[in-house]
């Protein structure tokens, strides 16, 4: 005998609403992966953008599984320091984020970014589908036209993304005391001194002027 379970109409309505909301949430959730030199800085920049939910640091593009920071920074793994940016597609698009990305780095530099040199500090965009690929290509072409210089940032198919060590996540707002060449300082202060000393904002402002989105 077939059994039927009675569901109260009010409960059924609630379940339908929750199901629709969950589908809407999944439809709006999206992510991009970019490499822009020091991942601390990319995190700090993009977590300020309206519609961005989170930015996490990691490694991608190489051949070594589960790499460590020491391995990646030493070179030879093929990995980039990268950031996975999760966002609400109803508030900001991948194309808009790519436009911001190009104007937050020096995309003319093939050897690294600012004071950080070597393969792990190169710029790149890692697309996850055809739509992202097309958006990245369009953003690159527009940025190259606006800058009037050749952009060397490659647009690559996404590979496995490995999370960086815990101490790298949200480094720019950390409160721990760390040892630096400036002495023992709070982590967030160490980040600010590093960023200024590396010349990131100065170079971005020199390149992009008032179009640089994260430079004060």
The residues annotated as belonging to the active site are 38
Query: For tokens 């010349």, what's the residue?
Result: 199
How far apart, in Å, are the Cα atoms of 62 and each of 31, 46, 81?
A: 20, 24, 10
Q: What is the 3-state secondary structure (H, E, C) of 41-55?
A: HHHHHHCCCCCEEEE
How far apart, in Å, are the Cα atoms of 153 and each of 64, 124, 136, 174?
A: 22, 5, 10, 30
88: left (phi over 0), alpha (psi -120 to 50) or beta: beta
Of 201, 103, 193, 97, give the one whose Cα is nearest residue 144. 103
Of 126, 163, 112, 120, give the one whose Cα is nearest residue 32. 126
Of 80, 77, 142, 143, give the one whose Cα is nearest residue 107. 143
Residue 106 CA from chain centroid, whole number: 15
Is residue 100 within 8 Å of 213, Cβ to Cβ?
yes
């Amino acid at each position: 005998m077939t059994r039927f379970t009675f569901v109260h109409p009010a409960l059924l309505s609630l379940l339908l609403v929750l199901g629709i909301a969950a589908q809407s949430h999944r439809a709006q959730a999206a992510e991009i992966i970019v490499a822009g030199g020091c991942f601390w800085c990319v995190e700090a920049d993009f977590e300020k953008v309206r519609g961005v939910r989170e930015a996490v640091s990691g490694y991608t593009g190489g051949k070594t599984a589960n790499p460590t920071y020491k391995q990646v920074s030493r070179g030879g793994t093929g990995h980039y320091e990268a950031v996975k940016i999760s966002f609400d597609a109803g508030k900001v698009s991948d194309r808009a984020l790519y436009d911001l990305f190009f104007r937050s780095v020096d995309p003319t530099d093939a050897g690294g970014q600012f004071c950080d040199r070597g393969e792990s500090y190169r710029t790149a965009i890692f697309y996850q589908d055809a739509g992202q690929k097309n958006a990245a290509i369009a953003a690159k072409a527009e940025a190259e036209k606006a800058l009037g210089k050749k952009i060397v940032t490659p647009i690559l198919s996404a590979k496995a993304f490995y999370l960086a060590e815990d101490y790298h996540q949200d480094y720019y707002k950390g409160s721990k005391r760390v040892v630096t060449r400036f002495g023992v300082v709070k982590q967030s202060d160490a980040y600010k001194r590093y960023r200024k000393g590396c010349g990131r904002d100065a170079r971005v402002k020199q390149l992009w002027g008032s179009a640089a989105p994260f430079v004060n």
